[in-house]
A = this chain, B = another copy of it.
Amino acid sequence: MALIIIAHPNFSNSVGNKTIIDELQKSDLELEFRNLHDLYSDFKIDIDAEQEALLRHQTIVFQFPFFWCNVPAMLKHWFDTVLAYQFAYGSEGDKLKGKNFLPSFTAGSLEDAYKPLGTHHYRISEYCKSIEHIAYFVQMNYIEPIYFHGSVHHYTEQTVKELAKNHSERLIKKLQELG
């Protein structure tokens, strides 16, 4: 049904991202999970295997923590290598055309931080433009990101778990809608 690409350099110790994935695994959705740091701790991505996985699914979810208001390095490495010329773009590069592209992430700071007077100055959607552009360029349908705020240092672990469970409910609903 959907492919879940996980990019977190310290996934097993994460609260937000791990809770979201745990909840997805408990759901009755048919999902394939690919944890990039487990698969490629040396950053040597198996491009063929990743492209074959993409071809098996209609919806691709990218699960990650916002790092420096951007995707983590491993996910950028995946974009840089797997979304290759004549596969994802170029005159014959239409293999991802029409598939759904769904970013799903945790934002460390509280919502006010992502405003002009806040620590991060710009809204989350501003920071997502380069991600959105990728979806357009490879002819995928960009689905509005699902995320929650405050995953780092702002709440107790229990509160982050609750926010992550709420996140996973929204994500599961969206995946059911996308079919």
A residues with a Cβ closer than 8 A to B are 9, 42-43, 67-74, 76-77, 79-80, 83, 119-122, 126-127, 129-130, 133-134, 136-137
User: Is A76 touching B71 in the complex (CB atoms < 8 A)?
Assistant: yes
Cα A134 to Cα B69 with chains together (Å)? 8
22 CB contacts below 8 A, A to B, read A42-B43, A67-B80, A68-B79, A68-B133, A69-B130, A69-B134, A70-B70, A70-B130, A71-B76, A72-B76, A72-B80, A73-B76, A73-B77, A73-B79, A77-B77, A121-B129, A121-B133, A126-B126, A126-B129, A127-B129, A127-B133, A130-B130
User: Is A80 touching B69 in the complex (CB atoms < 8 A)?
Assistant: no
Number of chain copies forming the complex: 2
Task: Kindly report which residue of chain B lies nearest to residue A42, judged by CB atoms.
Answer: B42
Quick one: given A42-B43, A73-B73, A79-B68, are A133 and B129 in contact (CB under 8 Å)?
no
* The 3 A-B residue pairs with the shortest CB-CB distance in the complex, in nearest-first order: A73-B77, A43-B43, A73-B76
Task: Kindly report which residue of chain B lies nearest to residue A69, judged by CB atoms.
Answer: B130
User: Is A68 touching B43 in the complex (CB atoms < 8 A)?
Assistant: no
